[in-house]
């Protein structure tokens, strides 16, 4: 028996506006006008260069707002395509023109309200820009779906270990890699990597790096050899100036030994009760040079001890004042991990970072791999 799906109904205009007003009212009651200030900050971040921002900081408040408005409008204008710039200028000129324009012969004449035509042209430019944004958003959502599909289960099952993997993008798609690979019946590999930059370019390079590691890891003679081969491939095929930091580690079921190689990444931390041990940063990041020698580190993790691997999006999370979460705040959290599951450790770190950041926009991708020894 065939079934037909009814097409989705269009939203009702009045009902939508009423809901929008309720949402805005709730937001103002909760956050005041901070959301408006955040919107202006995001505009400044997108449209203005660092030099412009420094010039604004030196101005008095009145001049700053006037100059900011002008610079934003000018930056918006130059980001439009040539055809849309002409349409926008024509529309604005017509909006400021009073009267009507009449065309045709003495028998048939057609009149146009000039301001109305101007408003129509401006709205047309806005509709075209919105169309571009919606198309880009749809493509990014598709990219995010693919990226999610490439990510492993957050809690891979490894006998003797409690593992929790987590990644959160600052933008629609991210440049952090958190991956899990079952090498054979007992050996397992976890990769945490941070591609330089954010957004779509970093996400594309992340997928490439993941594919390289997955192709080379099962047959690698050693961890340093794997890192060398990954580095050579990324340097050969990567975009000039691009690089990635990486922690690649292997562990066996029911074994306390963790073997790892560090390519310029944040040093992993072993939390031993109320104390901790910070491991070595390792060699150069991947992709910077073609020939780099890497070295293996071995660490034993005892029962209830925790190995913390993270990206710099944790320590470099930034609040509204421009201050970083920092290494000291992370280290202050470490004693509180005693007795927690791996997932609870992830939750505690994220709660501390989010509380510190507040309503500031995300500064970087945040990724964690937490390994707790259970046997």
Residues 53 and 161 reside in one and the same domain: no
Collapsing DSSP states into helix, strand and coil, what is residue 346?
Answer: helix
Rounded to 5 degrees, φ, ψ at 303 are -55, 135
Residues 196 and 343 reside in one and the same domain: yes
Given a contact cutoff of 8 angstroms between Cβ atoms, the answer to whether 270 and 276 are in contact is: yes
In a domain, 188, yes or no: yes
The neighbour count for residue 253, using CB atoms within 10 Å, is 14
Percent of the chain predicted with pLDDT > 70: 87
Q: How far is CA 196 from CA 25, 202, 311, in A?
A: 40, 7, 11
Which residues constitute the domain of residue 355?
A: 152-373
Number of domains forming the structure of the chain: 2
Residues 135 and 42 reside in one and the same domain: yes
In a domain, 5, yes or no: no
In a domain, 217, yes or no: yes
In a domain, 6, yes or no: no
Q: Which residues pair with 244 in a beta bridge?
A: 195, 286
Does residue 199 or residue 373 have the better pLDDT?
373
pLDDT per residue as tens digits for the range 13-70: 788 878 878 877 777 676 666 665 666 677 777 778 888 888 888 888 888 888 888 8
Q: Which helix (H) or strand (E) holds 163?
A: strand 161-168
In a domain, 83, yes or no: yes
* Alpha helix segments (H runs only) across the chain: 13-31, 34-47, 50-57, 61-79, 82-95, 114-150, 199-216, 223-237, 312-315, 326-333, 342-357
Residues 137 and 222 reside in one and the same domain: no
Residues 79 and 156 reside in one and the same domain: no
Residues 6+ apart with CB under 8 A from 86: none
Residues 139 and 156 reside in one and the same domain: no
Given a contact cutoff of 8 angstroms between Cβ atoms, the answer to whether 223 and 189 are in contact is: no
**Domain containing residue 291: CATH number:** 3.60.40.10
Residues 289 and 330 reside in one and the same domain: yes
Residues 191 and 218 reside in one and the same domain: yes
pLDDT of residue 44: 75
Residues 193 and 334 reside in one and the same domain: yes
pLDDT per residue as tens digits for the range 141-193: 766 676 676 677 788 899 999 999 999 888 777 788 999 999 988 899 999 99
In a domain, 2, yes or no: no
pLDDT of residue 363: 82
pLDDT of residue 37: 61
Question: Is residue 302 pLDDT above 90, yes or no?
Answer: yes
Residues 211 and 190 reside in one and the same domain: yes
In a domain, 106, yes or no: no
Residues 126 and 245 reside in one and the same domain: no
Residues 185 and 313 reside in one and the same domain: yes
pLDDT per residue as tens digits for the range 264-285: 999 999 999 999 999 988 889 9
Nearest alpha carbon to residue 288 among 348, 250, 241, 246: 241
pLDDT of residue 270: 97
């Amino acid at each position: 028996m065939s079934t037909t799906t009814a097409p989705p109904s269009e939203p009702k205009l009045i009902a939508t506006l009423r809901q929008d007003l309720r949402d805005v009212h709730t937001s103002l009651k909760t956050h005041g006008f901070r959301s408006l200030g955040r919107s202006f900050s995001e505009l400044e971040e997108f449209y203005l260069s660092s030099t412009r921002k420094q010039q604004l900081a030196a101005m008095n408040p009145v001049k700053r707002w006037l100059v900011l408005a002008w610079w934003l409008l000018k930056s918006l204008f130059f980001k439009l395509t040539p055809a849309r710039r002409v349409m926008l200028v024509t529309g604005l000129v017509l909006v400021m023109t009073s009267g009507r324009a009449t065309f045709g012969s003495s028998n048939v004449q057609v009149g146009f309200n000039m301001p109305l035509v101007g408003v129509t042209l401006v709205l047309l430019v806005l509709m075209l820009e919105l169309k571009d944004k919606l198309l880009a958003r749809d493509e990014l959502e598709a990219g995010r779906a693919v990226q999610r599909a490439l990510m492993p289960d957050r809690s891979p099952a490894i006998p003797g270990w409690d593992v929790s993997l987590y990644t959160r993008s600052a933008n629609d798609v991210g440049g952090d890699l958190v991956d899990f690979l079952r090498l054979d019946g007992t050996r397992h590999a976890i990769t945490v990597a941070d591609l330089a930059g954010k957004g779509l370019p970093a996400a594309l390079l992340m997928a490439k790096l993941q594919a390289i590691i997955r192709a080379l890891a099962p047959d690698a003679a050693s961890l340093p050899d794997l890192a060398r081969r990954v580095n050579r491939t990324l340097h050969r095929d990567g975009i000039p100036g691009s690089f990635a930091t990486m922690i690649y580690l292997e562990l066996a079921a029911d074994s306390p030994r963790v073997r790892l190689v560090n390519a310029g990444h944040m040093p992993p931390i072993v939390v031993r009760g109320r104390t901790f041990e910070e491991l070595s940063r390792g060699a150069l990041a991947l992709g910077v040079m073609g020939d780099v020698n890497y070295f293996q580190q071995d660490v034993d993790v005892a029962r209830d001890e925790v190995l913390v691997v993270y990206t710099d999006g944790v320590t470099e999370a930034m609040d509204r004042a421009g201050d970083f979460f920092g290494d000291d705040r992370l280290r202050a959290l470490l004693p509180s991990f005693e007795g927690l599951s791996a997932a609870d450790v992830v939750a505690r770190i994220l709660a501390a970072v989010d509380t510190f950041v507040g309503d500031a926009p995300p500064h970087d991708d945040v990724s964690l791999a937490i390994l707790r020894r259970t046997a």
